[in-house]
Structure formats: C-alpha cells, structure tokens
Structure 1
Amino acid sequence: MLQALDARLLAVPPPLELAGWRRLALESAYFTVKEARACLFAGLFFAAVFLMPRDGLFGLPRYDLLLVFALAVQVWMVWTKLETVDELKAICLFHAVGFALEAFKVSGSIQSWSYPDFAYTKVLGVPLFSGFMYAAIGSYMIQAWRLFDLRIRHHPPYWMAVTVALLIYANFFTHHYIGDYRWYLAACALGLYARTVVVFRPYDRDRRMPLLLAFVLIGFFIWLAENISTFYGIWKYPNQLGAWSAVHVGKWSSWSLLVIMTFTIIAGLKHIKSRIHVPD
C-alpha cells in the first residue's frame, strides 16, 4: 500500500488548469500527504517513544524495546523499498554523529541531560536507541528531498557550508570549555544561505521557499517533540529532575543549527554522488 502511495507521489502528474482555492486545496492536500510520508520513520519512532510503557514490556526495559523497534522499522523500510540502501547508510551516519554527541553530553563532567531508566543497551550512559532520534531528522530530510523533488538554488560553495557545519557540531562540545559561539555561527549561516532557495513540487508546479526558513521551521517542530519526550521522561534536563518544565525556548536555536548540519551532510553526499556517478 505504501509502495503504491510512493509511486503515486513520485509520478509526474498531468498539469491542471486550476486556480484560486481549488489550486490551493489540491496542492495543500498533496503537500500534507508528502510531508506525512516523509515523516514515516520519525512518526513511527516517536509514536513508540510516547506509547511505550515506562516499565517496558515482556520484562524488557523501554529503552531496549525502542532500539529493537527502531531497527525493525529500518529493516522493514529497506525490505519494502520505502528506503534505499544508500539512504540507510546516511541514516547510520546520523545515528553515529548523534550518539557521539549524546555520550559527551551525559558524561559525568558535563551532564547536560540524563537518561534515568535502566537499559541493557546503554553504552557510556546513553541508550543506543537515542541515536535514532537524530537519524529520524535525517530520514525526514532525505525522504522529503526525494518526494518533493527538491532542488537548491544559489547553494553556497560546499567547502564553506561544510566548514560552518563542522564548527556548529564542534560548538556543541567546545562551548562547555571556551564559550558558546552559536550566535556567531548562526550569523555566519545567515550570510552563507541568505540567497539560497529551496525549490519543491507539491503537485505539478514548482514552489520556492528560503532555505533559512525551512531550517527554522524544522527546528521548531523538533523542539516541540523534545518537550513531549521530556514530559514522558525519555530523558531529563537538570531542571526537570524534580518536576517537568518546558524545555527552554533557546533550545530551538540549537535544533535549527543541528538541522543546518544535517542538511549539509545530505547535500554534500548528494553532491559527491552526482560527481562520481557514471551514467550507464
């Protein structure tokens, strides 16, 4: 069923001479369906996060069950060709990048947040399922790129984009020692992507949006998901140990910067693949 939906969404539709509210309704419907489809892994994973009993099931802790669930969904998506092997490789990269950040942040000298529950699959204090939270962001962006036939106009030089992305990632670690430079990096990203436009196709016509706006919007929805996750006690910040409180809105900026880094990885991989690909 989902394979048929993918075929329908990826097919080139016949141009329709619609205008006004009919055009808006049609494109909005297709946009919504494509967004929901792009969120397939993220949606299933976070649904499991919210629905999994805190005490686990069948004698297994919930963190371990979440890892099993995430792996099973990934295997299913590749087996049913809802996700390609190349896309799976990219998602594994996001998992590794996310796990490295998590391991540092929960370490004894930092303790930016913690995972309070027991799990057999904890490594360095981090349950292995946590990397899939970062992989879910990458999965969404990869799927959206394909479903919306994304094209990037006025992309900055790749070496500049990669440099800013590396500095953003490094700042998540170094700000504990030499100061937080996120706003300087955000200013660099603002200048770098000021002219960049993402072209996407909800139905039969191309639409455009500033890429910076996409970064901010995706970061906002991740921040909302983080609030829900901490409410359910998946992880906790120090100020939430006594009673839950909303995640500080400043985390929105952190997530938006992480989205920039994620986008840069995907765009870079696609750029490299296009350069080394030899047509049959």
Structure 2
Amino acid sequence: MNFYLPASQRGRPLTGLRRVLFECLAFGIKEARCCLFAAVVFLAIFAVPRAGLAGIPRYDLLLVIALAAQVVMIWTGLESVDEVKAISLFHVIGFALEVFKTSKGIQAWSYPDFAYTKVWGVPLFSGFMYAAVGSYVIQAWRILELRVRHHPPHWMAGAIAVMIYANFFTHRYIGDYRWYLTCVLVGLYARTTVYFRPLDRRRKMPLLLAFVLIGFFLWIAENFGTFFAIWQYPNQIGAWATVGAGKWSSWSLLIVMTFTIVANLKHVKARIHVPGA
C-alpha cells in the first residue's frame, strides 16, 4: 500500500489530516484504475468528430476503439478472460435494452448518425457503454478489495435484479414500478454495508449510498453523452437540454442489477460476509 505514498512519507505514521489526504489520494488513484475502460470510452466520445474520420463514421470508430481497449486490457493483464466474459454479458444485456428503447413505437431515445455497424437502428458501440459500467464494478471489486456485510439472500437479490431489468421493458405497457422496486430494495439492503480498502485500512459505507452515488455519476456522464449527440432524447433534437433527474434513479437501479450479476459471476458467495468486521 505504500505505493501510494511519497518516498519521504513512507514509514511515518499517518494520523489526522495527513491520513485523510493520503487516503483520499489513494482512493482517487484506485478509482481511476477501476474506471480505465470507461475512461477510454468516454475520451473517445470527446475525441472522435461527429462527422467521423477518413470517411469512417463516428459510431464505427468508437466501436473499433472500444474493441482495441478491451484487447489491450486483456493483453496487459488488467482484465482476465473470465472478467471479459462477464463484461460481454453486460454488452448483450445493454444492447438488448437499447434495441427495445429505440424501436418504433417506443423511441425513448435515438442514435441520429449513420454507421455501418448499426443493427436495428442501434450502433454496436452502444453495448460497450453498459460493458464499461460492468468493467468498473468488476475492477472495483478486485482493486478496492470489496467485501459486503449483511448481504440479502442471493435468490432475493437475483429476483429483484431480474424485476428491475424487466421493468425497463414493461413500464410502457403495465406501468412503471421502479419506485415500488426501490422500496423493496431499501428493505433488502437496509443493513448492507460495503467494505473497501483505499490505503491500509478498511473503510465502509452503506451499500445503498454507493448505488445512489454511482448512479449520480452515470447520470452526469449521460448528460455529456447527449451533449455530444452520441444519442438523443426527443426533447434534445432541436436543441440540447439536460437529461431529466429522473434518469438518475434509472442508473442507480442499473447499478443494483450490475452489482448483483458481478457478485454471482465472481463466485463470492462464500466470502461476501465479513465476520466480525
């Protein structure tokens, strides 16, 4: 853990404000490592012109960049093959949701530009935005050494995750039950605490708070994505407007679903509780 300390500070006890500062610095460095894949995708959105480059449409270039980033992360050992398999699942789940949301009769949002790699009106690149969320959770689990105490029974967590995903599809037909699902989530995770290690000590926070905070940052990222017209909501076609704050809740629910999938795919059931923490 001393990797995060300047050479002059190693061996000296960390107390008071110095500890706060160094733990915040270490946490920031680890968070940056966790967000590496998401950062590449996000920076590509900034860097690639809307008109594309060398005759290659923007969405196609973004797909190539995302694939290249994934290959590099495997080659350098930043992600394992098993982790990439899990991330691929998020790609499929996200792409299916995108196809539904942009379909005729729904059209919750749209991808306005041409691309050779569009399928059913959705660029294949879009799935990598969901994969980036999955990559973040997977990386955070390992790099921050996440442990969870008082996790609800896995079958309950799995059931609510399935209902969250289903509600993204069914709310146009049988009503939006996200707030009912949120009430159930609060009951399930009320006692759940996530433990993480920013430096040399384990810290904790309510898992529900973590879901809300991550959802907020994803909502901020979505505003940037729509500002650069990667996708557009109907009220943004004439002129850009901020994404409604209600989408914050959608992202927070998506994080719940992502967390549940990662918890099961990484086979952490036997170590998910922290005895005597």
TM-score (ref. length: structure 2)? 0.93
TM-score for the superposition, normalised by structure 1: 0.92
After superposition, the CA RMSD in angstroms is 1.7
Q: Deviations over 1:167-210 (max 9, x none)?
A: 00000000010000000001111110000000000111010000
Shift in alpha-carbon separation, 1:208–1:236, aligned structure 2, 3 A:
same
Give deviations 1:63-109, integer Å, cap 9, x for gaps: 00000000000000000101111110011000000000000000001
Aligned residues: 266
Is the Cα contact below 8 Å between 2:146 and 2:197 reproduced in 1? yes
Question: Identity over the aligned pairs, expressed in percent?
Answer: 68
Identify the residue that residue 3 of structure 1 maps to in structure 2: none
Distance 2:112 2:26 in 1: 41
Residue 225 of structure 1 corresponds to which residue in structure 2?
221
Inter-partner Cα distance in structure 1 for 2:270 and 2:84: 18
Question: Aligned AA for 1:246?
Answer: T
Q: How far off its partner does 1:7 sit?
A: 11
Alpha-carbon distance in 2 for matches of 1:123, 1:273: 37
1:104-153, Cα deviation, whole Å (9 max, x unpaired):
00000110000000000000110000000001011011111111111010
1:242 matches 2:210 = no
User: 1:223 & 1:18 partners in 2: Cα distance?
Assistant: 35
- Corresponding residue for 1:93? 89
Question: 2-side partners of 1:19 and 1:253: how far apart?
Answer: 38
8 Å CA contact 1:104, 1:173 repeated in 2: yes
Tell whether 2:132 aligns with 1:136: yes
Tell me what 1:64 maps to: 60
| Separation in structure 1 between the aligned mates of residue 205 and residue 2 of structure 2, nearest angstrom | 25
1:149 counterpart = 2:145 = yes
Segments of structure 1 that go 5 or more residues without pairing to the other structure are: 1-5, 276-280
Q: Is the 8 A contact 1:149 1:200 kept in 2?
A: yes
Aligned counterpart for 1:179 among listed residues 175, 182, 192: 175
Measure, in 2, the Cα distance between the counterparts of 1:166 and 1:116: 30
Instruction: Report the counterpart of residue 194 of structure 2 in structure 1.
Output: 198
Is 1:78–2:84 an aligned residue pair? no
Deviation, 1:58, is 1.2
2:7: which partner in 1? none
Q: Which whole-Å CA distance do the structure 1 matches of 2:54 and 2:195 have between them?
A: 47
CA distance in 2: counterparts of 1:178 and 1:205, whole angstroms: 47
2:209 counterpart SS class? helix
CA distance in 2, matches of 1:272, 1:208: 18
Match in the other structure for 1:214: 210
Decide which of 166, 176, 188 is 2:162's aligned counterpart: 166
Counterpart of 2:190 in structure 1: which amino acid? A
Please name the residue that 2:50 is paired with.
Answer: 54
Q: 1:274: Cα distance to partner?
A: 5.8
Which amino acid in the other structure matches residue 69 of structure 1? I
Kept in 1, the 8 Å contact 2:263–2:269? The answer is no
Residues 262 and 63 of structure 1: CA distance in aligned 2, closer, same or farther (over 3 Å): same
Residues in 2 aligned to 1:259 and 1:33: alpha-carbon distance in whole angstroms: 22
Tell me the distance in 2 between the aligned counterparts of 1:264 and 1:16. 40
* DSSP-derived class of the 2:145 partner: coil
Paired amino acid for 1:79: W
Given the alignment, which residue of 100, 103, 120 partners 1:104? Answer: 100
Structure 2 SS opposite 1:271: coil
- What residue identity is the alignment partner of 1:222? L
Q: Does 1:44 align with 2:40?
A: yes
Q: 2:118 aligns with which of 117, 122, 129?
A: 122
Q: Which amino acid aligns with 2:205?
A: M
Return the letter of the residue paired with 1:55. Answer: A
Residue by residue, what CA displacement relative to the aligned partner does 1:214-238 show, whole Å, maximum 9, x if unpaired? 0000000000000011011100001
Contact 1:15–1:204 under 8 Å retained in 2 = no
1:16, distance to aligned residue in structure 2 (A): 6.1
Offset at residue 271 of structure 1 (A) = 2.9
Matched AA of 1:115: Y
Aligned partners of 2:162 and 2:12: how far apart in 1?
44
